[in-house]
Structure 1
Amino acid sequence: MGQADVNVNLWLKDTKRFADLFNAILFHGETVILPENLHPSPETTAVSLQDAQGKNVVKKLYRDIIMNWQDQAVLMLLAVESQTAIHYAAPLKVMLYDSMEYAEQVRVKWKERPPRLSSAEFLSRFQKNDKLIPVITLIFYYGTEEWDGPLELHQMFDLGTEKNHAELMKKYLPNYHINLVDVRRLKNLESFQSDLQ
């Protein structure tokens, strides 16, 4: 991470700016997320996986900014990945970060499991009525060039030249899109209430 990203991250960690960013992008300027309902979350996400030899290997990823948003019954994780350069694997990067957050939630729930589980719950390491906390990640792109990278995982695949076959395959290939905030090309600046405008 370059010094510019560090400075942008420190600037965006202010809960008023962070709330304003998400309110402007998600809710078109309506004040839904209040700064006092945002709380920093650990920026390191780790997951333990088994390698081919059966050894546990810990993989860590470092988020730029992630906060818990707790508002009455709503609990969400809101994350920002700042980019000064175009990231041509951004859908994969965000999918991995978000997936690791979800995997960590499953791991924590498994540690809190009751003594009696169905065989399916034991196999899943997740109970039938368990729910995950949603994660929304924004890519805060402030580079000078117009973003020409993929906005979804499907755009990273080469499915051949036969259009009919490609469209059929896309139905079975999971997709993952990114939420890009290209700050130099934003419209509706009146949606912002802070100095983000």
Structure 2
Amino acid sequence: MGTKDTITKDYMADNRVFADVFNHMLYKGKNIMDPDTLHPLDTTALAVPYGSGTSEVPVQKFRDEFKSLNVMHDDSRIYLLLGIEN
């Protein structure tokens, strides 16, 4: 990891940029996702490997950027977890 990775992570941490990426990729550029509704989450995750081996040591993984989004739709709340790997 170097300077380029750090710069990209800082850039993607901006909710406006993050929302713009998802709006472009999912909604063909329409402004559907509101940056003000995004909330940062911890970018670390623990994973326990599956398999027949005796080594079931948890592995820690990191995402570049991870945010939650909750929206109201027809009086029901919908939760989305969105992550980006640069």
Please indicate the TM-score interval, normalised by the length of the shorter structure: 0.7 to 0.9
The Cα shift of 1:80 comes to 1.1
- The residue type equivalent to 1:10 in the other structure is D
Q: C-alpha deviations, 1:167-190, integer Å up to 9, x for none?
A: xxxxxxxxxxxxxxxxxxxxxxxx
Report the counterpart of residue 10 of structure 2 in structure 1: 10
Q: C-alpha deviations, 1:118-152, integer Å up to 9, x for none?
A: xxxxxxxxxxxxxxxxxxxxxxxxxxxxxxxxxxx
The aligned length equals 81
Pairing of 1:103-142 with structure 2 (within 5 A) = none
Larger strand proportion of the pair: 2
Unpaired runs of at least 5, structure 2? none
Percent of aligned positions with the same letter in both sequences? 27
Q: Following the alignment from structure 2 to structure 1, what is the Cα–Cα distance between the partners of residues 2 and 16?
A: 24
Report the counterpart of residue 71 of structure 1 in structure 2: 71
Larger helix proportion of the pair: 1
Q: Following the alignment from structure 2 to structure 1, what is the Cα–Cα distance between the partners of residues 8 and 47?
A: 27
Unpaired runs of at least 5, structure 1? 83-197
TM-score (normalizing by structure 1): 0.38
**3-state secondary structure, aligned to 1:31:** coil
Q: C-alpha deviations, 1:82-114, integer Å up to 9, x for none?
A: 1xxxxxxxxxxxxxxxxxxxxxxxxxxxxxxxx
- The residue type equivalent to 1:52 in the other structure is G
Q: Following the alignment from structure 1 to structure 2, what is the Cα–Cα distance between the partners of residues 10 and 63?
A: 13
- The residue type equivalent to 2:19 in the other structure is A
